[in-house]
Amino acid sequence: MSTTSTSSRTRLTDLAEMAGVSTATVSRVLNGKPGVAAETRQAVLQALDLLGYERPERLRGRSVGLIGLVVPELTNPVFPLFAQRISAALASSGFTPLLCTQVAGGTTEDEFTEMLRDHGVDGIVFVSGLHADRSASPERYHKLRSEGLPMVLVNGYLPGLDASFISADDVEAMSLAVRHLVSLGHTKVGLAVGPDRFTPVARKIQGFATAMEQSLGVTDTQEWVSSSLFTLEGGQAAAKELIEKGCTGIVCASDVMALGAVKAARALGLAVPGDVSVIGYDDSPLIAFTEPPLTTIRQRVEEMSAAAVNALLTEISGGGAPRTELVYSPELIVRGSTAPAPTP
C-alpha cells in the first residue's frame, strides 16, 4: 500500500489553494496526466513557481521563465482581453505570465515592478501603464533598461527609451469615427475623452481635430472636446455637456465611456441613434450585445498582443527586438448606435 507524506499533502493543498483548483487536479498536472485544460495546467505550474517548488523533470521543459504582465485595472473590458491574449501567447511559448492588476489605493506599478524583479522575471510587458502618463517620470523605465531587463510597452510612447512599443493608431481611429458620422449627415460632432495627460488621449484629440478640419472645415475643436474620467459616469458627464452644446454625434475614447454617453442621451429624453449617434473605442467583449449594439473602433488586440510577446521573447533570447513604435491600424465596426443625423 502506498502512503502519502504530510509534507506532500501540504504541498498539494498549498498549490491547489493558490491555483484555485482541487488537489486531484494538481496531482494530475504534476504527474503529466491528460484531461486538464491548458489554462488550469498553467495556473498550477505558476503556483508551483511562486511557492518555490522545483518542477518535476517531466514538466521543466514546459516553462523557461516568468514574465511580468502589468495592466492598470480590469474594470475596462479591454484590459482583461489584453491580459488574456498576452498570457496565452506567453504560455504557448513556455513562459509563465505573472499578472499584476492595479486598483485604486492598492499596489502601485512601481511596487509591482519591484515584486516582479524579486521573483526573477525574465521580462515585463506594461499595458497602458505610467509610460502612457505624460505627467509621470520616465526614469523608472530608463532604470530598468540600464539594469538590462527586457520590456515591452503597450499603448503609450516614451521618446528616447530603449525599448519596444506597441500602439493602436489613435489618430487614424478618430479619422474613421468622424468620417463615419459625417457620412451620415452629422455636422456637430463631439469627442468624449479621458484626461489629456495620457498619450493615447492626446493623440485622439489631435486626430479628432485633424479629422474635423478635413471633413467639416472646423479649425477650432476645443469647444467640441469634453474630458472626464475613463468610466461610465465620466462618459455620461462628458456626453451630457456635448449634447447640450448641440452635438448629434459623439465619439468616445472607450466603450465604457460610450455606454455612459448612451445613458446621458436617454436621461435627456433622447433616443440612440435616432437623436444622438454614439461611437465607442476598443470593441470590448460583449459590446455587440448592448442595446443598441455599439458602433465602435476596434483595437487589434490579438495582433498587438502577439507583437508584444514576440518582441519581448526576441530580446530575451538575445535577438534584436525593434526599438521603434509599431502602430496598428484600427477598424471601424458599424452596429446599431449610429444612424443618419436627425432632420431639423
> Measured between alpha carbons, how far is 3 from 22 in angstroms, rounded to an integer?
19
Last residue of a domain, one of 63, 90, 114: 63
Output the pLDDT for position 44. 83
Please calculate the CA angle 183-186-189 and round it to the nearest 5 degrees: 115
Q: What confidence score (pLDDT) does residue 3 get? A: 40
Whether 340 is covered by a domain: the verdict is: no
Q: Are residues 177 and 293 in the same domain?
A: yes
Closest to 155 (Cα-Cα) out of 184, 130, 187: 130
The rounded Cα 81 to chain-centroid distance in angstroms is 7
| CATH code, 288 | 3.40.50.2300
- 295 plus 174 within the same structural domain: yes
Count structural domains, the chain: 2
Domain, as residue range, for 266: 170-299
Average pLDDT, the chain: 89
| pLDDT at 5 (0 to 100) | 44
C-alpha cell at 236: 455620461
Model pTM?
0.80
Closest CA to 90 of 109, 70, 108, 67: 67
What are 326's three cell numbers?
509599431
Where does a domain end: 35, 63, 91?
Answer: 63
Could you tell me if 57 and 175 lie in one domain?
A: no
Residue 149 within any structural domain of the chain = no
- The DSSP bridge partners found for residue 296 are 280, 333
Q: What is the pLDDT of residues 13-51, one digit of tens each?
A: 888 888 889 988 888 888 767 667 767 877 887 788 777
Range 78-99 burial, b when 16+ CB lie within 10 A, else e: bbbbbbebbbbbbbebebbbbb
Is 59 within the bounds of a domain?
yes
Q: What confidence tens digit (pLDDT) does each residue in 166-204 have?
A: 999 999 999 999 999 999 999 999 999 999 999 999 999
Q: What is the mean pLDDT of residues 94-114?
A: 87
> Stretch 80-106: mean pLDDT, rounded?
88
From 28, 44, 63, give the residue that closes a domain: 63
Instruction: Determine, yes or no, domain membership for 57.
Output: yes
Does residue 196 sit within a domain? yes
Residue 38's pLDDT is 65
- Any domain includes 338: no
Helices (H), 187-284: 199-216, 232-244, 255-267
The pLDDT of residue 216 = 96
pLDDT of residue 62: 42
Asked if pLDDT for residue 104 goes beyond 80, the answer is no
Q: What is the pLDDT of residues 225-237, one digit of tens each?
A: 999 998 999 999 9
Amino acid at 130: L
Rg (CA), the chain: 23
In a domain, 327, yes or no: no
For the stretch 257-299, pLDDT in tens is 999 999 999 999 999 999 999 999 999 988 989 999 999 999 9
Q: What confidence category does residue 11 fall into, taking pLDDT thresholds of 50, 70 and 90?
A: confident
Q: What is the CATH number of the domain that holds 33?
A: 1.10.260.40
Q: Give the Cα separation of 211 and 218 in Å (integer).
A: 9
User: Is residue 274 in some structural domain?
Assistant: yes
Say how many Å lie between the first and final Cα of the chain, rounded: 86
pLDDT tens-place string over residues 52-84? 777 776 555 444 588 999 998 778 889 999 999
